[in-house]
């Protein structure tokens, strides 16, 4: 059963009205069939944010769950595709070889099946869910050749569309359903091409065939039985919703060793919809959450102040900006594609390459109630932009000469070495993930702005953030919605041993507090919440 709260009038939402008064009559919408069954992320302990540990090895993820993600309240990890993929040597071991499956064997550059199983158990044990990146629209490229150049040495023949390790044979692919001469998608305005032809030459599976649906469900069920909590489903735009629904309907319930009996796998679907194409994200809403690519693209232009856009415009941020309904949206500042010019988002996308603006954008995302948040965790590559194109966008993760991925070393300061960026460990980001947990469920209120790029807003009576993206000092006394007392700013420091290691903020009995933020601060924003109160 789903409980929908009427949206309360602004004033009533944010005043200190006791919760029972806030619980207006709820509309009980019975789940519409199987469809709405995959929206529950099964997060533990009120956690709210996923981290994408892109290209990390399973052994490193297991350690990170225990030493960092569990203790700091991350809700889950999106892991790179765990299925066996083609080994590409030209260019040398690109990250994207993992989006070219050759079997459903669970061995990849991130590790063996046993290491995967071990990692899932260890992360589950500390309340960190695992969401697997499921590449099920296709197998490898039609130019993938023939042989055993694969991460577990399985034989395949791309030219003949033979993948004996599954097995899939030519009849399991969409060739006869694709109408273009090249066999590739040539026109994104033609929904049949987008679904039934090859995405950049990738052999397109025929999901209308029961056999194909069954094999894919078997693969996903193997992961479910090992303990994953759900999936990021790759390239959903390229699959018919009814075929996806048939596949999702065959998925097992989650392993009751870690999840309540009858729990359905959480599903969020990659659909790039910036408008302008016949295929819409809303076609996929019934079946699970959907990635909202407009989020990062628009937030980037506002924070970069392009076309006169300014932070105070974000007062209406959310559906009023044309974003999908908040309870359907999986949101992120950048992802593994658009941080390197793949997929969608363009030049406005903020990434770790511009750390100060990136921290500001991520802090805003984590403070604002819209959507389910995902934090990107990247590796550095030899970015080399020539005429707007990054010539090294293909570069794989930090690795040894034999192509195997390097472990992730943690530095004494708590960052990562060897080229791993670990944005999820950056102090402001880690503490804003905690902020989001503390304020979860509280409405946005006490909005203030200066009509330019200085804004502030609260989350009910549990948190408050002030951001200065203007070129002059913010110096204001604001209504925070918080109860009187002294709070530690969790951006410039945090509460440690009963003290503030950074700035502290005194909130008066009237809930008002004075904030002074210089535009030259390395992080020109302040955030306080009820768990950072002395
Ligand atoms: C090349 C030519 C093709 C030709 C083909 C013949 O470009 O025209 O037909 O050879 O073999 C890699 C290469 C690409 C190459 C292709 C096949 O980059 O040049 O085609 O392999 O050999 C990732 C990368 C792609 C990569 C792919 C497979 O981004 O560059 O292609 O993996 O290795 C759309 C989709 C959206 C998609 C986005 C990138 O709607 O779903 O494009 N995003 C997801 C993943 C993304 C992944 C895929 C889908 C494919 O997030 O990482 O693509 O699984 O918007
Ligand atoms: Ca397809």
d(C-alpha 499, C-alpha 462), whole Å: 19
Which of 442, 486, 448 is CA-nearest to residue 467? Answer: 448
Backbone angles phi, psi at 186, to 5 degrees: -115, -25
Encode 220-261 in three state secondary structure.
HHHHHHHCCCEEEECCHHHCCHHHHHHHHCCCCCCCCCCCCC
- pLDDT exceeds cutoff 70 at 17: no
- pLDDT exceeds cutoff 50 at 6: no
Nearest atom of ligand 1 to the alpha carbon of 236: 41
pLDDT averaged over the chain?
Answer: 94
Tell me which of 21 and 242 has the higher pLDDT: 242
Other Cβ atoms closer than 10 A to 193: 18
Q: 343 CB under 6 A from ligand 1?
A: yes
- pLDDT exceeds cutoff 80 at 171: yes
Other Cβ atoms closer than 10 A to 434: 22
Please name the helix (run of DSSP H) or strand (run of DSSP E) that holds residue 5, with its range, or none.
Answer: strand 2-5
Q: 43 CB under 6 A from ligand 1?
A: no
- pLDDT exceeds cutoff 60 at 340: yes
pLDDT confidence of 221, banded at 50, 70, 90?
very high
Q: Give the bridge partners for 231, in sequence order.
A: 132, 267
d(C-alpha 435, C-alpha 364), whole Å: 11
Backbone angles phi, psi at 526, to 5 degrees: -130, 135
To the query of whether residue 418 is one of the catalytic residues in this protein, the response is no
Output the pLDDT for position 446: 98
Name the H helices within 423-503.
427-439
Output the pLDDT for position 28: 34
Nearest alpha carbon, ligand 1 atom 33: 96
Ligand 1 centroid to residue 93 C-alpha, Å: 15
- pLDDT exceeds cutoff 90 at 486: yes
Rounded to 5°, angle at Cα 45 from 40 and 49? 60
Please name the helix (run of DSSP H) or strand (run of DSSP E) that holds residue 145, with its range, or none.
Answer: none
Output the pLDDT for position 420: 98
Backbone angles phi, psi at 150, to 5 degrees: -145, 160
d(C-alpha 375, C-alpha 159), whole Å: 38
To the query of whether residue 118 is one of the catalytic residues in this protein, the response is no
Output the pLDDT for position 37: 79
User: Which pair of tokens denotes residue 65?
Assistant: 């769950």
Quickly list DSSP for 319-382.
Answer: GGGTPPPGGGEEE-S--TTTTTT-SS-GGG---TTSHHHHHHHHHHHHHS-SSEEEEEE-B---
- pLDDT exceeds cutoff 70 at 26: no
Output the pLDDT for position 36: 62
- pLDDT exceeds cutoff 70 at 531: yes
Nearest alpha carbon, ligand 1 atom 51: 337
d(C-alpha 509, C-alpha 527), whole Å: 19
48 in Cβ contact with 115 (< 8 Å): no
Q: How far is CA 47 from CA 12, 71, 156, 424, in A?
A: 26, 11, 42, 15
Which whole number is the average pLDDT over 351-356? 98
Output the pLDDT for position 388: 87
Nearest alpha carbon, ligand 1 atom 25: 96
Q: Which of 60, 270, 423, 489 is catalytic?
A: 270
Other Cβ atoms closer than 10 A to 16: 9
Residue ranges with CB less than 5 Å from ion ligand 2? 137, 204, 238
d(C-alpha 444, C-alpha 465), whole Å: 11
Residue pLDDT, tens place only, 373-407:
999 999 999 999 999 899 999 999 999 999 999 99
- pLDDT exceeds cutoff 60 at 8: no
Nearest ligand, measured from the Cα of 191: 2
Describe the crossing of helices 210-226 and 241-248 by its angle, rounded to 10 degrees.
50
Residue pLDDT, tens place only, 511-520:
999 999 999 9
Residue pLDDT, tens place only, 230-276:
999 999 999 999 999 999 999 999 999 999 999 999 999 999 999 99
Q: In terms of residues, how long is the chain?
A: 534
Output the pLDDT for position 478: 98
219 in Cβ contact with 133 (< 8 Å): no
Residue pLDDT, tens place only, 354-370:
999 999 999 999 999 99
Q: Which of 16-30, 79-93, 154-168 shows the lowest mean pLDDT across its residues? A: 16-30
Ligand 2 centroid to residue 193 C-alpha, Å: 8
pLDDT confidence of 345, banded at 50, 70, 90?
confident
């Amino acid at each position: 059963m789903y409980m929908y709260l009427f949206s309360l009038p602004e004033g009533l939402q944010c005043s200190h009205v006791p919760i029972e008064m806030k619980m207006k009559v709820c509309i009980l919408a019975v789940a519409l069939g199987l469809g709405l069954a995959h929206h529950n992320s099964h997060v533990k302990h009120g956690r709210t944010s996923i981290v994408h540990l892109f290209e990390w090895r399973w052994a490193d993820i297991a350690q990170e769950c225990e030493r960092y993600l569990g203790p700091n309240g991350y809700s889950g990890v999106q892991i790179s595709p765990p299925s066996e993929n083609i080994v590409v040597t030209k260019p040398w071991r690109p990250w994207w070889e993992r989006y070219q499956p050759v079997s459903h064997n669970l061995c990849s550059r991130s590790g063996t099946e046993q290491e995967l199983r071990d990692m899932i158990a260890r992360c589950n044990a500390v309340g960190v869910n695992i969401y697997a990146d499921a590449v099920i629209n296709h197998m490898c490229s039609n130019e993938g050749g023939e042989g055993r150049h694969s991460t577990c040495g399985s034989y395949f023949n791309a030219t003949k569309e033979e993948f004996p390790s599954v097995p899939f044979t030519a009849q399991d692919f969409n060739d006869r359903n694709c109408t273009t001469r090249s066999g590739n998608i040539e026109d994104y305005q033609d929904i049949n091409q987008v679904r039934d032809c090859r995405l950049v030459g990738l052999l397109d599976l025929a999901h209308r065939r029961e056999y194909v649906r069954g094999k894919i469900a078997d693969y996903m069920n193997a992961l479910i039985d090992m303990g994953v909590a759900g999936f990021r489903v790759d390239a959903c735009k390229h699959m018919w919703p009814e075929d996806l629904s048939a596949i999702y309907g065959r998925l097992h319930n989650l392993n009751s060793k870690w999840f309540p009996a009858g729990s359905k796998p959480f599903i969020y679907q990659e659909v790039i919809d910036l408008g302008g194409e016949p295929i819409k994200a809303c076609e996929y809403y019934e079946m699970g959450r959907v990635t909202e690519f407009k989020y990062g693209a628009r937030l980037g232009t506002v924070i970069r102040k392009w076309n006169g856009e300014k932070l105070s415009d974000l007062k209406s941020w959310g559906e009023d900006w044309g974003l999908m309904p908040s309870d359907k949206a999986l949101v992120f500042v950048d992802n593994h594609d658009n941080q390197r010019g793949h997929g969608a988002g363009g030049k406005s996308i903020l990434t770790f390459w511009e750390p100060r603006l990136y921290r500001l954008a991520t802090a805003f995302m984590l403070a604002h109630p819209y959507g389910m948040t995902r934090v990107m965790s990247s590796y550095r590559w030899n970015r080399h932009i020539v005429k707007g194109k990054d010539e090294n966008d293909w570069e794989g993760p930090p690795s040894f000469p034999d192509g195997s991925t390097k472990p992730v070393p943690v530095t004494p300061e708590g960052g990562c070495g060897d080229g791993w960026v670990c944005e999820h460990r950056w102090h402001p980001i880690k503490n804003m993930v905690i902020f989001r947990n503390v304020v979860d469920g509280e409405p946005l209120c006490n909005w203030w702005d200066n009509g330019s790029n200085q804004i502030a807003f609260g989350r009910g009576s549990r948190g408050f953030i002030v951001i200065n993206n203007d070129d002059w000092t913010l110096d204001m006394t604001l209504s925070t919605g918080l109860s009187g007392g002294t709070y530690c700013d969790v951006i410039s420091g945090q509460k440690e041993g009963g003290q503030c290691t950074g700035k502290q903020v005194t909130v008066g009995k009237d809930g008002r507090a004075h904030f002074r933020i210089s535009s030259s601060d390395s992080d020109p924003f302040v955030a306080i919440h009820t768990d950072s109160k002395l």
